[in-house]
């Protein structure tokens, strides 16, 4: 029997009673149900030995004991059997019958009325029984400390308080369930949320990749689904490197990178994020390695970042061994901020291998999301990035919507005023194009040292 068939048959016998359909206020007592289960009567001293040989025939249902006391004989136990495999004593396999005979156990099947309650049902089974038949069931959520963060669909909203309570009941450690009620489209990247059930305390603590973060979830941005991405970027940096984190949030990029003995400049416009970023730097003992700012991303790039780059990429930069990375994790708008890099620096250009490496995040609904992100980023910078960048697929956000990270070195022709002026002052357009192509060709060669990430195939969505 296939796994799908097994799940279907289990849902028939072990599903909640039909009278809970349409329930909007959770009534746990309404989930009582009695099912008839085949059992074997066994002497209690041989139960353990017998169970090792009856794995196929025994009931396999989480939360239900397979061996219970015999109400008629205290020296015996009742072994619960799978009602879809064992119907009569003729349902046992030859090897099982041999063991029964060896242990002097009668293969006679008895019937036992098993009472199922709310505690015996999984959250998905409960919601499938309650919500309108055929509708999507919410059983997944993002866990943020003690908070379950759900994104309910319209047809689930009449059942929102029940769904929230079920999530709390069925997930140990969850004491609050919330639902997002608007998109992340405001200045500070947080979102309005409604407490569906449980406590209204949004102050939480999470552990990610070995680091601890504390914050008020209702006032800052945090997405547990990005933990792998935080780790991926961290691994790209080496001790002594410099990181500029333009939209730092509460520190999931900045803090692990600082722990690698890197210099970090971390910024966030949201005063609450700035507050918790400072707090988490101290909490993780990296406050001496992270310089924290509370600026608009553009002001951060044109101010502290420009100032530091002028020093990092100045005349003494040839002696420098470390790399400079710029992370821009604001997928809805980060590409627009790339325009700040145009003509940002004065002075003679540094060597290509010293140019800053940008990791810029974006969403895409295009059939070829990697190419779409490259073209949009290139359009803002006024160059082609298709030959000198890599694109990493971070995650699928929604049907036909991907989150991606484009990585590239900022070309000297973009970053430096003098470089661009030299090119623009050429009288011969083909010569200008030739020199520009030469710069980009050299930078393309350097991309091999930036990252070994592969460009993803077009999204299947």
Find the mean pLDDT for residues 113-142.
90
Main-chain dihedrals φ then ψ at residue 267, nearest 5 degrees = -135, 145
377 in Cβ contact with 201 (< 8 Å): no
Per-residue pLDDT tens for 354-379? 999 999 999 999 999 999 999 999 99
Contact between 283 and 255 (Cβ < 8 Å): no
Statement: residue 444 has pLDDT above 50: no
Q: Give the distance from CA 247 to its chain's centroid.
A: 18
Q: What is the pLDDT of residue 245?
A: 98
Mean pLDDT value of segment 159-188: 86
pTM for the full model? 0.81
pLDDT, position 187 = 58
pLDDT tier at 120, thresholds 50, 70, 90: very high
Instruction: Kindly list the strands in the beta sheet with 33-43, ordered across the sheet, starting from the edge strand earlier in the chain.
Output: 67-69, 76-80, 33-43, 110-116
The Cα–Cα gap between 370 and 37 comes to 55
Q: Which residues are annotated as a binding site?
A: 230, 268-269, 296-297, 329
Confidence at residue 207, expressed as pLDDT on a 0 to 100 scale: 97
Q: What separation, in Å, do the N-terminal and C-terminal C-alpha atoms of the chain show? A: 31
How far is it, in rounded angstroms, from Cα 174 to Cα 179? 14
Predicted confidence (pLDDT) at residue 124 exceeds the cutoff of 60:
yes
Q: Which residues are annotated as a binding site for S-adenosyl-L-methionine?
A: 230, 268-269, 296-297, 329
Average pLDDT taken over every residue of the chain: 87
For residue 62, what pLDDT is reported?
85
Kindly report which listed range (4-18, 76-90, 327-341) carries the lowest average pLDDT score: 4-18
Q: 164 pairs with which residues across the strands?
A: none
Tokens standing for residue 201 = 């305390």
Q: How far is CA 300 from the centre of its chain?
A: 28
DSSP structure class, residue 410: P
């Amino acid at each position: 029997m296939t796994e799908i068939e097994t799940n279907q048959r289990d849902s028939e016998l072990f599903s909640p009673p039909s009278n809970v359909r349409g329930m909007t206020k959770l009534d746990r007592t309404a989930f009582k149900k009695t099912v008839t289960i085949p059992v074997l009567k066994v002497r209690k001293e041989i139960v353990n030995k017998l169970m090792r040989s009856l794995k196929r025939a025994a009931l396999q249902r989480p939360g239900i004991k397979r061996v219970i006391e015999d109400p008629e004989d205290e020296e015996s136990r009742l072994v619960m059997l799978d009602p879809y495999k064992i119907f009569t004593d003729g349902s046992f396999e030859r090897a099982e019958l041999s063991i029964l005979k060896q242990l002097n156990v009668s293969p006679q099947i008895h019937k036992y009325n098993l009472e199922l309650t709310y505690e015996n049902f999984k959250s998905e089974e409960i919601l499938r029984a309650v919500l309108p038949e055929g509708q999507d069931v919410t059983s997944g959520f993002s866990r943020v400390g003690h908070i379950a963060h759900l994104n309910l669909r319209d047809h689930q909203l009449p059942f929102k308080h029940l769904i929230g309570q079920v999530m709390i009941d069925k997930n140990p450690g969850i004491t609050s369930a919330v639902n997002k009620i608007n998109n992340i489209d405001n200045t500070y990247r947080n979102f309005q949320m409604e407490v569906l059930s449980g406590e209204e305390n949004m102050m939480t603590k999470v552990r990610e990749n070995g680091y601890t973060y504390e914050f008020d979830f209702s006032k800052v941005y945090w997405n547990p689904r990005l933990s792998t991405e935080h780790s991926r970027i961290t691994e790209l940096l080496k001790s002594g490197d410099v990181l500029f984190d333009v939209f730092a949030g509460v520190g999931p990029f900045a803090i692990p990178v600082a722990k690698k003995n890197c210099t970090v400049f971390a910024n966030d416009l949201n005063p609450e994020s700035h507050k918790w970023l400072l707090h988490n730097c101290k909490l993780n003992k990296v406050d001496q390695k992270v310089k924290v700012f509370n600026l608009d991303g553009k002001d951060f790039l044109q101010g502290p970042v420009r100032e530091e780059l002028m020093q990092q990429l100045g005349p003494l930069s040839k002696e420098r061994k470390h790399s400079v990375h710029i992370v821009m994790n604001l997928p809805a708008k980060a590409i627009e901020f790339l325009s700040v890099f145009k003509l940002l620096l004065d002075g003679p250009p540094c060597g290509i291998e010293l140019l800053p490496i940008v990791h810029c995040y974006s969403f895409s609904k295009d059939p070829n999301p990697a190419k779409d992100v490259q073209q949009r980023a290139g359009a803002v910078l006024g160059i082609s990035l298709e030959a000198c960048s890599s694109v990493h697929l971070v995650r699928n956000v929604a049907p036909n919507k991907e989150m991606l990270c484009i990585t590239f070195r900022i070309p000297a022709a973009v970053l430096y005023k003098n470089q661009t002026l030299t090119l623009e002052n050429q009288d011969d357009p083909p010569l200008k194009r030739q020199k520009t192509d030469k710069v980009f060709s050299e930078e393309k060669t350097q991309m091999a040292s930036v990252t070994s990430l592969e460009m993803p195939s077009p999204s299947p969505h």
